[in-house]
Amino acid sequence: MPELPEIETIRRDLIQFVLSATIQRVEVLDPTVICELPPATFSQSVQGTTITNVQRYGKYLILTLTRPCGSASPQAGEARESYPLSPPGERVRVRGEQFLIVHLRMTGQLLLGTPSEQPPTNPTPRLIVTFADGRSLYFRDQRRFGKIFLARDWHTVPPLARLGPEPLPIGSDGVRRKPDLKDGCDRDKFAELLRRHTGAIKPLLMNQTIIAGVGNIYAQEALFRAGIKPMRKAHRIRAYEVTHLWAALQATLRSAIRRRGSSQNTYRDLLGRPGRAQRFHAVYRRAGQPCPRCETPLVGLKVSGRSSVFCRYCQH
């Protein structure tokens, strides 16, 4: 499943290639990809809008769509009311603004095609967005777990409302974002989260209601970098180890973002290119291979039902 670095890579690609693009047509080829709305209503609500911002929260992409004044779609209001508004005065919204939220889940891909290119196949796209300049954005998803939401206020969409804080400081990537994203986490908040949980540290890092965006790949890599075993009880990790783990988690995520994510399975960026971070994994999927530090064989085991790899000597 694409994790924070992969989704951040796609977000930056969308900023570069489709920001300010106007959506001319939407084809919903698999109605189950759209949550809460009939496909026809979704398409009518999105057509004619312009992408004015792209944000990320955890593993979710949030595209801001703005419709020019006086050109509202007949059913756009109905689509934007799919989720209730926040209390008056809580957040500032722009008239004609709505949010397209994309969750790629296990095998989802967003691919940008030029007017001369044929639509991708195997698998067939679940949704196609055609822009006014002739380019198309394809949503492919082999296992068909991915979902798309449309809302007036993305904070009220249930999956996002349940997410924990971001592990990276908001805006640390240098891209200006709106000030309505949830506050990011810091070392002290992270330490408090660990003190309150008696379970193993690795599933805690992967729990999206606690920390948003970290999955199996980067939880293993961060724990190795910090020298902590994945089965250690979270509340028993010492204060200095918490500091090391917090720094390791952020460094691991930033390193993967610089390398445009990990392409272990189906992940590709907006132009269909694989990431490079998998070439530098220390432990993920390397059970039985030499530890990059001490050269003893890495150990594979299950932690809360998920595969994990660690070094019995370098991690404690």
* Residues carrying an active site annotation: 2-3, 59, 306
For residue 104, give the nearest of 137, 64, 148 by alpha carbon: 148
Cα atoms found within 13 Å of the Cα of residue 236, Cβ hemisphere only:
10
Amino acid in the structure at residue 98: Q
- Please give the backbone phi and psi of residue 33, each rounded to the nearest 5 degrees, phi first: -75, -25
**Residue 162: count of CB within 10 angstroms of its CB:** 10
What CA–CA distance (Å, rounded) separates 315 from 299?
Answer: 11
**By the 8 A CB rule, do 58 and 212 touch?**
yes
Rounded CA gap, 131 and 219, in Å? 37
CA dihedral over 171, 158, 205, 5, signed as positive or negative: negative
List CB contacts of 192: < 8 A, sequence separation 6 or more: none
| Inter-residue contact 70 to 88 (CB < 8 Å) | no
Separation between Cα atoms, residue 231 and residue 240, nearest integer Å:
18
Cis peptide before 38 (omega within 30 of 0): no
Cis peptide upstream of residue 5 (ω within 30 degrees of 0) = no
